Copies of this chain bind each other. A is one copy, B any other.
Amino acid sequence: MNKSILIKATLLVSLGLTLLGITASVSADNDKKYRWRLAETWGPNFPIFGDASKNMARMVKEMSNGRFTIRIDSANKHKAALGIFDFVKSGQYQMGHSASYYWKGKDFNAQFFTTIPFGMIASERHAWFYYGGGMELMKKVYDQYGIMSFPGGNTGNQMGGWFQKEINSVEDFKGLKIRIPGFAGEVLAKLGAKPINIPSGELYTALERNTIDAVEWVGPSLDLRMGFHKIAPYYYTGWHEPGAELQFMVNQKAYDSLPKDLQAILTVAMKAAAYDMYAQSMHVSGENLASLKKDYPDIKMRSFPKSVMNAIKQTNDDLLNEFATKDPVTAEILKSLNDYKNQIRAWTDLSEKAYLDNFDE
């Protein structure tokens, strides 16, 4: 049906409805267009993280036949990488793509929905979110801000960082200047390290000139573009972000104003894009690790010695226990995370870990 015929038909229907005493337009809800904007923490064309929001917006547009489109503003546009929470809360943007642990200054409990040191890996965390009560706890925290929070893509287990020197004992952390943000930094500080916050653009030079001794970033999927492998010989495995899940945020009122089918389209698109990001993270990590090993065969990949790992874990447990005494919601979230991890880890160990162990030399 071309447009002019549609208009004529609509006029006739309007006439008919008027004759029937009805003044409403014939236009059903499914002709109304929804034009949303999403603000993301990342810069434009940031790999993997940025693909998650683009994939989500593409699926929404295709599934809604163009009735619902979402424009993405990267950090260069809105100039507030860590302003996403406020943008979505105020409704200035209907949506955001970021990470919940950035909002611990807004709400202390927000940080636990991304990852915690010695917590669950991606497959376990997805089970917790969707089947183990995680979504309900996240709603409890975010409801009070008029924000809906959803999983936004998993990085997989992150690497412990690039180090100039080998770590042989807990003593080696004393005075160690390391870029490692947030909770993990607090843990290492208790062991004597000096966590330092440096803008990402200056990290390479800081590591090269020994302004810092180590830098934690993500993993092979995103580290190689930073160039750290050219100047630091040790690449340590991770303990601090075993399955960091990014976050889609939606302004509750904006969501409520959508017709039910577009609400469903948005929700499913966010979920599929988030799951896909973990698959993409795995894929790119595999590719980049292969090229790293080929082009930089002298990089030494290590895990911290058992004694060091035990000390870090004990410090971490103490800190979490301290948190739990301060607020009942914190206690509830940490208990849920811990109980669930213990239950599902028994299965991970008996299934995928036992399977992988069979390949060990």
Residues of A within 8 A of B (CB): 1, 5, 8-9, 12-13, 15-17, 20, 22, 24, 26, 28, 30, 59, 62-65, 118, 121-124, 126-127, 129-132, 156-159, 219-220, 237-239, 242, 259-261, 264-265, 268-269, 271-272, 275-276, 278-280, 282-287, 289-290, 293, 301, 303, 306, 309, 340, 343-359
**A132: min CB distance to chain B, Å:** 6
Cross-chain contact A286 with B127 (CB below 8 angstroms): yes
Label chain A's interface by main secondary structure.
Answer: helix
Residues in B whose Cβ lies below 8 Å from that of A353: 353, 356
CA distance A118 to B359 in the complex (A): 9
Which chain B residue shows the least CB distance to A132? B283
Which chain B residue shows the least CB distance to A157? B351
**A30: min CB distance to chain B, Å:** 6
- Known interface pairs A12-B13, A130-B279, A261-B64; A238-B1 also in contact (CB < 8 Å): no
Cross-chain contact B237 with A126 (CB below 8 angstroms): no
Residues in B whose Cβ lies below 8 Å from that of A289: 343, 346-347, 350
Cross-chain contact B13 with A1 (CB below 8 angstroms): no
**A234: min CB distance to chain B, Å:** 13
Cross-chain contact A127 with B347 (CB below 8 angstroms): no
Cross-chain contact A282 with B347 (CB below 8 angstroms): yes
Cross-chain contact A1 with B28 (CB below 8 angstroms): yes
CA distance A347 to B261 in the complex (A): 39
The contact of A303 among B157, B272, B306, B357, by CB within 8 Å, is B357
CA distance A275 to B126 in the complex (A): 10
**A161: min CB distance to chain B, Å:** 13
Q: Select the residue from A237, A268, A293, A347 with max chain B CB neighbours within 10 A.
A: A347
Which chain B residue shows the least CB distance to A131? B283
Q: Select the residue from A17, A239, A259, A358 with max chain B CB neighbours within 10 A.
A: A358
- Beyond the given A9-B17, A237-B350, A271-B272, please list 16 additional residue pairs across the A-B interface where CB-CB is below 8 A: A1-B26, A13-B16, A63-B264, A123-B156, A126-B275, A156-B352, A158-B351, A220-B347, A237-B351, A265-B265, A268-B272, A283-B344, A285-B344, A286-B344, A309-B358, A349-B356
Residues in B whose Cβ lies below 8 Å from that of A269: 268
Cross-chain contact A5 with B30 (CB below 8 angstroms): no
Which chain B residue shows the least CB distance to A265? B63
